[in-house]
Amino acid sequence: MTMMTAEQYEASLRRLNLEVYMFGKRITNVVDDPIIRPSMNAVAQTYALAQRPEHEDIMTAVSHLTGKRINRFTHIHQNRDDLVKKSKMGRLLGRATGCCFQRCVGMDALNALSIVTYDMDQANGTEYYQRFQQYLTYVQDNDLVCDGAMTDPKGNRRLPPHQQDDPDLYLRVVEERPDGIVVRGAKAHQTGAVNSHEIIVMPTMAMREADRDYAVSFALPSDAEGIKYIMGRQSCDTRKLEEGRMDRGNPLFGGHEALVVFDDVFVPWERVFMYKEHAFAGSLVEKFATYHRQSYACKVGVGDVLIGAAQTAAEYNGAERASHIKDKLIEMNHLNETLYCGCIACAGEGHAAPSGTYIVDPLLANVHKQNVTRFPYEVARLAQDIAGGLMVTMPAEADFASPLTGKWLEKYYAGDCSVPTLNRMRILRLIENLTLGTAAVGYLTESMHGAGSPQAQRIMIARLANMAEKQRAAKALCGIDET
């Protein structure tokens, strides 16, 4: 088997024995839990669309290791075209789901490791790259979802890992055995963790010699003994427990985050890709972050949905001809397509690393992600402006269905009388979901903090912008000769 169907993916999750907690209780059936299920549905779309002939070029690739056709989420980029198609895939799936579809982080982890394991071997004579390629073949052949785990809880930000009052606030090696290592710690904000087959752990920052026990990277099955998942809350998450569809806004799809705890977990050597090579920790972080900042093409796809919802709301309100409404929709499209320009540009300027893996231009990737921390907030503001206050004051779906109140709501919440009142309510609930509800975690908060904080991108922009060359060009034009 090389590529699973959506149905096979769901069946594969049912075979996992995950230790998952939510609302203070253990969840025994993760796949069918009504709060978690929409996030699984979103991942399933990465399988469903890969089966469709019209999306084959974007959703699939040919493995450079086996020559088999594989899901692009398990592919190692071989050229600039692969990098461009990655962005197109992200936009396609963002538009199809209206939320985070959760596989980008694993894809970015695989590509970062394909570069850094090779570099470590060249420098130190280790065998990490061979291990990684064997692992990659396993992932590709079985079409697995990998959860990339980088962010540690971090504790006191003033202190490095080895100086923390609690040394487990950064994931670390606590024991070395002949057959592997034992690790302890946690990874926070883990997108799609309980929908994944594998967890790929990476260090969270550049490390020094004193922090070498924290410079560790490895992969494990998501249900390995000692791994525990504690689900994070989202705004409006318990709406998924209610009857009906309207109040959930986007009833089929969603995302989730979890704290993943590693309680003295054993890792066999064949799955260890970095072990105390602290000098390469920073490189792995930067390579992963560069890839993942490009991955926010997904927000362009979600932006497409939000713009479409705003246009529809304007029409249902009878306001679509107003000049200020038209201008706001133009601005929303301008901002959204500007984001798309960024992710395509950093792909088009990509280059090959020594391992042969292609990586996007790091400066342009950071500029793109910096724009993602800003533009979706303005797109969301304009959508809320167009939608109107009813988006957050309308009664529940049950009130529309009630014989006691339904007729009054149908009467007084009508807009354009050619449009059913419930359709008007549905589009407003979708805008609420995308800008305030559970999907806002993926569209807004994730736009801000995903792939590192805005300041992290500004640091990289300052580091990567060639100021000396800019100064040389300016001085040359005005006749300054400093030779």
Residue-range domains of the chain with CATH: 293-478 (1.20.140.10)
State the pLDDT at residue 463. Answer: 94
- What per-residue confidence (pLDDT) applies to 437? 84
Residues in the chain: 483
Residue whose pair of structure tokens reads 């006191």 in the numeric block: 156
- pLDDT at position 441 is 77
The binding site for FAD consists of: 191
What is the model's pTM?
0.96
Alpha-carbon gap, residue 202 to 218, rounded angstroms: 7
Residue with tokens 């939608």: 387
Residue range 7-59, pLDDT digits in tens: 999 999 999 999 999 999 999 999 999 999 999 999 999 999 999 999 999 99
* Binding site, annotated residues: 191
Quote the Cα angle for 441-46-357, to 5°.
Answer: 95
Q: What's the CA gap between 151 and 165, in Å, rounded? A: 18
> What is the model's pLDDT at position 1?
61
Catalytic (active-site) positions? 100, 104, 191, 257, 292, 296, 298, 446
Alpha-carbon distance values, 362 to 37, 204, 291, 298 (Å): 35, 18, 8, 18
SS3 for 119? Answer: helix
Q: What are the residue ranges in the chain where pLDDT is below 50?
A: none
Name the CA dihedral angle for 115, 4, 104, 108, rounded to a multiple of 10 degrees: 0
Q: Is the dihedral of CA 454, 459, 463, 468 positive or negative?
A: positive
Compute φ and ψ for 238, nearest 5 degrees. -75, -5
Residue-wise pLDDT tens digits, 248-303: 999 999 989 999 999 999 999 999 999 999 999 999 999 999 999 999 999 999 99
